[in-house]
Homo-oligomer: A and B are copies of this chain.
Amino acid sequence: MEEPNGFAEVATIINDMELEGQHNNEEERESTEINYSRNRTLSSTSVAIVGAKVSHIESLDYEINENDLFKHDWRKRSRVQTLQYVFIKWISHFWSAFLLEVWPPSSVSQSKISLVTNSALLYFMGFAFFAGANFLLTLVAAFITVYFAPTAAGPGVPEIKAYLNGVDTPNMFGATTLFVKIIGSIGAVSAGLDLGKEEPLIHIGSCIACLLGQGGSDSYKLSWHWLRYFNNDRDKRDLITYGSSSGVCAAFRAPVAGVLFVLEEVATWWRSALIWRTFFSTAVVVVVLRIFMDYCKSGSCGLFGRGGVIMFDVSDVIVRYHFVDIIPVVIIGVIGGLLGSLYNHVLHKVLRLYNLVNEKGKLHKLLLALSVSLLTSICIYGLPFLAKCKPCDSSLSDSCPGTGETGNFKQFNCPDGYYNDLATLLLATKEDAIRNIFSLNTGNEFQVISLLIFFLLYCILGVITFGIAVPSGLYIPIILMGSGYGRLLGIAMRPYTKIDQELFAVLGAASLMSGSMRMTVTVCVIFLELTNNLLLLPITMLVLLIAKSVADCFNPSIYEIILELKGLPFLEAHPEAWMRNITVGELADVKPPVVTLEGIEKVRRIVEVLKYTTHNGFPVVDGVIPELHGLVLRTHLLLVLKKKWFLNERRRTEDWEVDEKFTWIDLEERWGKIEDIAVTKDEMEMYVDLHPLINTTPHTVVEILSVAKAMVAFRQVGLRHMIIVPKYQAAGVFPVVGILTRQDLRDCNILNVFPHLAKSKSIKKGN
Instruction: Point out the residue from B279, B534, B545, B706 that lies within 8 Å of A697, measured CB to CB.
Output: B706
Instruction: Point out the residue from B535, B541, B700 that lies within 8 Å of A255, measured CB to CB.
Output: B541
Evaluate contact between A704 and B255: CB separation under 8 angstroms: no
- Interface pick from A463-471, A625-633, A740-748: A625-633
CB nearest neighbor in B for A79: B763
Evaluate contact between A697 and B573: CB separation under 8 angstroms: no
Instruction: Point out the residue from B323, B630, B701 that lies within 8 Å of A294, measured CB to CB.
Output: B323
A276-B521, A713-B717, A761-B75 known; A583+B697 contact, CB < 8 A: yes
Q: How many residues of A contact B (CB 8 A)?
A: 99
Instruction: Point out the residue from B310, B541, B629, B725 that lies within 8 Å of A286, measured CB to CB.
Output: B541
Assembly CA distance A74 to B579 (angstroms)? 13
Q: What 0/1 pattern do residues 721 to 739 of A give for CB contact below 8 A with B?
A: 0010111111111110000
Evaluate contact between A730 and B731: CB separation under 8 angstroms: yes
Evaluate contact between A521 and B287: CB separation under 8 angstroms: no
For this chain, the copies found in one complex come to: 2
Question: A235 contacts which chain B residues (CB < 8 A)?
Answer: 766
Instruction: Point out the residue from B532, B723, B729, B761 that lies within 8 Å of A626, measured CB to CB.
Output: B729
Does A427 make an interface contact (CB < 8 A)?
Answer: no
Most interface-central of A264, A294, A697 (chain B CB within 10 A) = A697
- Interchain nearest-CB distance for A127 vs B (Å): 41
Evaluate contact between A64 and B699: CB separation under 8 angstroms: no
Does A442 make an interface contact (CB < 8 A)?
Answer: no
Question: A574 contacts which chain B residues (CB < 8 A)?
Answer: 271, 273
Assembly CA distance A326 to B294 (angstroms)? 13
Instruction: Point out the residue from B279, B315, B524, B729 that lies within 8 Å of A279, measured CB to CB.
Output: B524
Assembly CA distance A701 to B698 (angstroms)? 9
Question: A763 contacts which chain B residues (CB < 8 A)?
Answer: 82
- Interchain nearest-CB distance for A116 vs B (Å): 35
Question: A521 contacts which chain B residues (CB < 8 A)?
Answer: 256, 259, 275-276, 279
Evaluate contact between A279 and B545: CB separation under 8 angstroms: yes
Assembly CA distance A281 to B75 (angstroms)? 48
- Interchain nearest-CB distance for A83 vs B (Å): 9
Instruction: Point out the residue from B263, B287, B315, B732 that lies within 8 Å of A542, measured CB to CB.
Output: B287
Assembly CA distance A534 to B767 (angstroms)? 35
Assembly CA distance A286 to B625 (angstroms)? 65
Q: What 0/1 pattern do residues 563 to 600 of A give for CB contact below 8 A with B?
A: 00000000001100100110100000000000000000
Evaluate contact between A537 and B580: CB separation under 8 angstroms: no
Evaluate contact between A283 and B545: CB separation under 8 angstroms: yes
Q: What 0/1 pattern do residues 181 to 208 of A give for CB contact below 8 A with B?
A: 0000000000000000000000000000
Does A270 make an interface contact (CB < 8 A)?
Answer: yes
CB nearest neighbor in B for A766: B234
Evaluate contact between B699 and A713: CB separation under 8 angstroms: yes
Does A759 make an interface contact (CB < 8 A)?
Answer: no
Question: A729 contacts which chain B residues (CB < 8 A)?
Answer: 625-627, 726, 728-735
Q: What 0/1 pattern do residues 664 to 708 of A give for CB contact below 8 A with B?
A: 000000000000000000000000000000001111111011101
- Interchain nearest-CB distance for A705 vs B (Å): 5
Instruction: Point out the residue from B256, B727, B735 that lies within 8 Å of A528, measured CB to CB.
Output: B256
Assembly CA distance A716 to B270 (angstroms)? 10
Assembly CA distance A635 to B491 (angstroms)? 62
CB nearest neighbor in B for A534: B532
Does A712 make an interface contact (CB < 8 A)?
Answer: yes
Chain A positions 272-290 with a Cβ under 8 Å from a chain B Cβ: 272-273, 275-276, 279-280, 282-283, 286-287, 289-290
Question: A75 contacts which chain B residues (CB < 8 A)?
Answer: 760-761
A74-B765, A628-B727 known; A275+B520 contact, CB < 8 A: yes
Question: A264 contacts which chain B residues (CB < 8 A)?
Answer: 272, 275-276
Assembly CA distance A42 to B330 (angstroms)? 58
Assembly CA distance A628 to B283 (angstroms)? 52
Instruction: Point out the residue from B256, B322, B706 that lies within 8 Å of A524, measured CB to CB.
Output: B256
Question: A700 contacts which chain B residues (CB < 8 A)?
Answer: 700-702, 705
- Interchain nearest-CB distance for A93 vs B (Å): 10
Evaluate contact between B283 and A541: CB separation under 8 angstroms: yes
Assembly CA distance A712 to B628 (angstroms)? 22
Does A634 make an interface contact (CB < 8 A)?
Answer: no
Question: A766 contacts which chain B residues (CB < 8 A)?
Answer: 64, 234-235
Assembly CA distance A735 to B703 (angstroms)? 13
Does A636 make an interface contact (CB < 8 A)?
Answer: no
Most interface-central of A234, A256, A627 (chain B CB within 10 A) = A256
Question: A294 contacts which chain B residues (CB < 8 A)?
Answer: 322-323
Assembly CA distance A74 to B581 (angstroms)? 12
Question: A286 contacts which chain B residues (CB < 8 A)?
Answer: 537-538, 541
Question: A535 contacts which chain B residues (CB < 8 A)?
Answer: 309-310
Does A445 make an interface contact (CB < 8 A)?
Answer: no
Q: What 0/1 pattern do residues 51 to 80 of A give for CB contact below 8 A with B?
A: 000000000000110100001001100000
Does A228 make an interface contact (CB < 8 A)?
Answer: no
Question: A697 contacts which chain B residues (CB < 8 A)?
Answer: 580, 583, 704-706, 709
Does A423 make an interface contact (CB < 8 A)?
Answer: no
Assembly CA distance A146 to B396 (angstroms)? 66
CB nearest neighbor in B for A539: B287
Instruction: Give the 3 A-B CB pairs with smallest separation, nearest first.
Output: A283-B541, A716-B716, A697-B706
Q: Can you pick out 15 interface pairs between chain A and chain B where the beta carbons lie within 8 Å of each other?
A: A64-B708, A74-B765, A82-B763, A263-B263, A264-B276, A265-B272, A273-B574, A280-B545, A286-B541, A289-B538, A626-B729, A630-B704, A696-B706, A698-B705, A716-B717
Q: Please give the residue numbers on chain A whose beta carbons come within 8 Å of chain B beta carbons, in ascending order.
A: 63-64, 66, 71, 74-75, 82, 234-235, 255-256, 259-260, 263-265, 270-273, 275-276, 279-280, 282-283, 286-287, 289-291, 294, 309-310, 315, 322-323, 326, 520-521, 524-525, 528-529, 532, 534-535, 537-538, 541-542, 545, 548, 573-574, 577, 580-581, 583, 625-630, 696-702, 704-706, 708-709, 712-713, 716-717, 723, 725-735, 760-761, 763, 765-767
Given contacts A286-B541, A628-B704, 9 further A-B contacts (CB under 8 A): A66-B708, A74-B761, A286-B538, A291-B323, A625-B729, A627-B727, A699-B701, A700-B701, A702-B725
